[in-house]
Amino acid sequence: MLEEGKISTRQATFLMVNTILATAILFLPAISTRQALQDAWISTLITTGNGILISLLVVTLMRRFPRQTLVQYSEDIAGKVIGKIIGVGYIWFFLHINAIIVREFGDFLIAVFMPRTPLLVFNAMIVILAIMVVRSGLEPLGRLNEWIFILNSLILIFIFALTLREVSPANFQPVLEGGIVPALRGAYTPTAWFGEIITLGMIFPFLTQPHRGYRIAIGAHLIVGAFLLMGAFITIGIFGPELVSRLKFPIMAAVRLISFGEFFERIESLVMVIWVGGVFVKISVFHYATVMAAAHSFNLRDYRPLVIPLGILNVILSIHLFEGVTDLVEFLSITFPVYALSTFELGIPALLLLAALFQGKRGENNV
């Protein structure tokens, strides 16, 4: 075993929540409102439904092979050659998505807080942190995230409570103005975010209670869905759908409106707290998944020597993948869903599951 640590069901759930929510809460309200306008909250409900379907599928696959990672049993199911190709594909996928997340991290901090600081500084610093935590293993990450998750949730609930009085219900009317189609299209991009639950495939063998896999994935999606629903409710209620679709970071704009008695205001640094904390966990989980995928594909005895080189690769990719924010958002809202869902998040796991069912293959100690 490459990993000696074990994480509990709760730690795994919280890890998955932060893996999906960290970037979703900032980017998604604008992206899904662009398609669904005032029905973006319906899109969120649909997305959560989609997310649960995806988790049923991928967790069924994971539960058949509870002692192995996704990359390992893809070799068992699809044979050595194709299995290796899938494994290398997953290394690339996790690395690529992680580079995008690192880019989002730096871009947000530059756009909102520190415009003249070079992108490299933010990207390198967060990846160095991720390298440190991945080197120390899954268990410390799981424990650390319990605190970060609780802190982030409290801050988010606090923000929602303070902005609630600005919400005007008229902004949600008329409901389903253009029928159900815009709401479905608004759910399209977020579904790819929910599909990031596939990273669970890389930590599944290290769960103390693998038979609770469904609970982890579905629980994580329900928590994320609840927070995103709150986010959609607050942003659309305050700004109206037309303005939300034009704002780059609607939650940020909403937080900037908080002002009580001219002394309790300017609390947007709280958004920075949840952003840095949450995205740190997200990047760490993805980096861990990248490193694990690489170590398992090439049958290494230790994954630690890979942590730093892949981290450096990640920083370089994060800077050179996109020209600017327009590219990034375009990729996230149009290319990313097709790319991720058709292959690594849904397509390949579905094929693997089908093949495993036909062959009747199971791992040891399946639950």
Partner 1 sequence: MYRVKYLPKMIIIVIVAVSLLLSVSCWDSREIDDLALILGIAVDYIPEEEKVMYSTLVVRPGQVGGVQEGSGQFFMGPVWISESSGKTLFEASRNLSSRSPRFIFESHIQAIVVGEEIARRGIAEVVDYVTREREQRLLPPFLIAKGRAVEVFRAEPELENNIAQEIRGILNSQLDLSTTPVINVKNFILPLNQPGIDAVAPVIQVSEVPTFPDEELPVGYEPESKKTISIEGTAVFSRNQLAGFLDVPETKGMLWVRGDVTQTTMIPRLPDEGEVTVYIIRSGSSMEPEFIDNKLKISIQIETEGDIFISTIRQDISDPEVIEELEKTLANHIKQEILAAAAKSKEYQSDFLGFGAAFRRKDPEKWKEFEKSWREMLQEVEVEVRVLAEIRRTGLISTPILVE
Binding residues for partner 1, rule: CB under 8 A, are 111-118, 121, 170, 173-174, 177-178, 238-240, 242-243, 246, 253, 256-257, 259, 265
Determine the Cα–Cα distance for residues 214 and 58; give it in Å rounded to an integer.
Answer: 9
- If the CB atoms of residues 257 and 334 are measured against partner 1, the closer one turns out to be 257
* Selection from 296, 249, 317 nearest residue 97 by Cα: 317
- If the CB atoms of residues 199 and 245 are measured against partner 1, the closer one turns out to be 245
Q: Considering the complex, what minimum distance in angstroms separates the CB of residue 242 from partner 1?
A: 3
Q: Considering the complex, what minimum distance in angstroms separates the CB of residue 49 from partner 1?
A: 25
| Cis ω for the linkage preceding 241 (within 30 of 0) | no
* Selection from 96, 102, 142, 73 nearest residue 296 by Cα: 73
- If the CB atoms of residues 249 and 280 are measured against partner 1, the closer one turns out to be 249
- If the CB atoms of residues 257 and 367 are measured against partner 1, the closer one turns out to be 257
Say if residues 302 and 215 touch (Cβ distance below 8 Å).
Answer: no
Q: Considering the complex, what minimum distance in angstroms separates the CB of residue 80 from partner 1?
A: 44
Sign of CA dihedral 288, 157, 245, 118: negative
- If the CB atoms of residues 35 and 74 are measured against partner 1, the closer one turns out to be 35
- If the CB atoms of residues 17 and 31 are measured against partner 1, the closer one turns out to be 31
Diameter over CA atoms, the chain: 67
- What are the structure tokens assigned to 148, written together? 């970060």
* Selection from 263, 274, 213 nearest residue 56 by Cα: 213
Determine the Cα–Cα distance for residues 35 and 45; give it in Å rounded to an integer.
Answer: 15
Sequence letter at residue 283: I
Q: Considering the complex, what minimum distance in angstroms separates the CB of residue 97 from partner 1?
A: 28
What DSSP element (H or E) covers 348? helix 347-359
- Would you call 207 helix, strand, or coil by DSSP? strand
- If the CB atoms of residues 132 and 154 are measured against partner 1, the closer one turns out to be 132
- Would you call 265 helix, strand, or coil by DSSP? strand
Locus of tokens 């539960």: 63
* Selection from 227, 223, 245 nearest residue 236 by Cα: 245
Q: Considering the complex, what minimum distance in angstroms separates the CB of residue 31 from partner 1?
A: 17
Q: Which residues make beta-bridge pairs with 207? A: 7
- If the CB atoms of residues 173 and 299 are measured against partner 1, the closer one turns out to be 173
- If the CB atoms of residues 219 and 241 are measured against partner 1, the closer one turns out to be 241
Determine the Cα–Cα distance for residues 294 and 300; give it in Å rounded to an integer.
Answer: 8
- If the CB atoms of residues 243 and 319 are measured against partner 1, the closer one turns out to be 243
Locus of tokens 């450096």: 312
* Selection from 55, 18, 6, 69 nearest residue 283 by Cα: 18
Q: Considering the complex, what minimum distance in angstroms separates the CB of residue 166 from partner 1?
A: 8
Q: Considering the complex, what minimum distance in angstroms separates the CB of residue 283 from partner 1?
A: 22
Distance of CA 26 to the CA centre of its chain: 12
Q: Residue 165 contacts by C-beta under 8 Å, 6 or more apart in sequence?
A: none
- What are the structure tokens assigned to 84, written together? 């290796």
